Chains A and B, each alone.
Chain A
Amino acid sequence: MIDEDADDPDLLAGEYVLGTLDPEVRDAFQVRLAMDRDLQARVAAWEARLAPLADAVPPLQPAPAVWHRIAAQIARGQATGPAPGRRPRTPIRPGLWQSLGFWRGWAATATLAAASLAAWLVLAPQPPRLIAVLGAPGEPSWLLTASVDAGELQARVVGPLEAGPRAHELWLVPADAAPISLGVLATDGTTARPLPDPARPLLVPGAVVAVSLEPEGGSPTGQPTGPVLYTGRLVADPDG
């Protein structure tokens, strides 16, 4: 596993923009990025520094059909959409697919049998339960189970945790909006918590969840303030 805390976050941001991070590190970085405004500014600065390199590539004229498809899709008002098989039946607000579209490239958590789960997802119209394994690749620390219908989630400790007096706070990390707190978790056994209303429509397969280290009692600001320790992605529970 990569010890990211030992790394200079600005150089990591540069490597992210450059594109050299290996897929797992890139995924983890994107979760941190969604939760960290300072990191967002660093990434923007690297994008500005390196952007002139794009000019070194010769332009290519797209086929006319490309624009026609874009214009037609926008005229129909269905800009970003998921692959057809992934659309759940639950009606959700339109902004959500933007987020899904944005996160579409993410890989499933390496600790799960991602391929078979993905195949199952395509067939499943409406997953009753979602699960996520949070941790570093190959080192699960939490097992999260969310039942959107019942409006409850459970977080079970399944591996060694970062020790210390500080609180472990769970977050739902939407693509285009601020993280939503799902509450502080007990560091042993199982924590059950009600799902906050704003989080419910965003709890779908593919959604990103993360645990950050916060002052006792949870983040004083309502937004993550400490380091992100564990991340994962929700998938439909095949046994759910």
Chain B
Amino acid sequence: MSRYEAVIGLEVHVELKTETKLFCGCSTEFGQAPNTQVCPVCLGLPGSTGVLNKKVVELAARAGLALNCKIGAYTWFDRKNYYYPDLPKGFQISQVFRPIAYQGYLDIEVDGRDKRINITRAHIEEDPGKLVHSSGSIMTSSSSFVDYNRSGMPLIEIVSEPELRSGAEAKAYLEKLKAILEYTGVSDVKMEQGSLRCDANVSVRPAGTAALGTKTEIKNMNSFRAVQRAIEYEVDRQIDVLEDGDRVVQETRAWDENKGITMSMRSKENPDYRCFIEQEVSPIELSDEWIEDLRVTIPELPDARRKRLVAEHGLPAYDAGVITSSLSLAEFFDATLEKFPDAKKISNWIMGELLRLLNARGMELGESKITPAGLASLLKLIEKGSISNKIGKEVFEAMFQEGKEPAQIVKEKGLSQISDEGQLTQIIAEVIDKNPKSVADFQSGKEQAIGFLVGQVMKATRGQANPGVVNAMLREKLAE
């Protein structure tokens, strides 16, 4: 047992799934040429004034409800003042004093233990632009470039209470958060496109004490795995500092993925953002009725869905957890189940082949060509005995890549299982001729010898024979 306890809080920025920016009608599409999605508002041109995107309010409130938050009946926007070249107005419009959602929670499970993590708040704010360094010559170039395409993109920042105690808990929290946001249609939650970004506040304290230690803020983590690793590194580093009798410095540190360490970025010069109410954007008043109408549109969330899969379909809790960790997977499961009513078999194929292929290729489910109807057809072919389980895996991979019907693949590749006794009689006779020792063993009572003979028939048919049929025919023949 460590003598120290880690205290971790996460600040997660999530880009909302809208067509247009927070205060102007510019597109939010990712990956366009620099400064092609800008207007006077998001460039902060003198005299420009923006108007709040209604969809943002709806999505932010949806996220709040899905995270069990209270929704502010009357909230507004504030200005956070600081200077940076990517911040076109010299202030960021955010909700400092009255967040749209507050006092929520989400439940995580780590090492079989359930834990509730409280959420302090979720508030709406605008993204700054992006600093780009000239191609490849970051060390030599004397300039940086500013692209304001991202400026004014709608974000919610979700702030957890400092109740996480390990990197693993942080990762579990992020996975659950991501699933919830995906389920509710709030965000695409693509970390690689920056639509989900996470900063971690980390401190350590002697186990059993209540006072908080000095914290550091960790940035620049580009995957959930990186968040876990960075936190684990940082916790160890802080413990080492304390063990050496030194003090942790309050600072911002950057995670270096390659070196696997955090490095000091800048000491926090006591930022004073001089926040005050934004006058150029209207406050938001949400009626109880509006909130309740929105609440009923929140779909079944991951936890409920997982419990349902266990209760209704008898899936193991682990399987159900994996399948419901992503909405697309859960929907894939349900759709397959409609056409092939064996939940456990479907789950085995999803947990086995599907996730194996997705992980191996680093793909999203939507990028593969497999469909629920396709998987259902495949499982029916196996059930009918038209193909073996083993051949099924081969067919699955072809479906995953090419998206063809399984029956067509079986036909094209000649993979159909041989159950025709006429065809098998000849092969069985040959196997008996070639393996007199095994035949004798079996006839003298060595039951396991039959397995070897079945195997030889399967080998001769390149796995296409139906093993049950082969077994029965062999026994019949040897009994003669």
Question: Do the two chains belong together in a single complex?
Answer: no
Q: Which residues of A contact B (CB under 8 A)?
A: none
Q: Which residues of B contact A (CB under 8 A)?
A: none
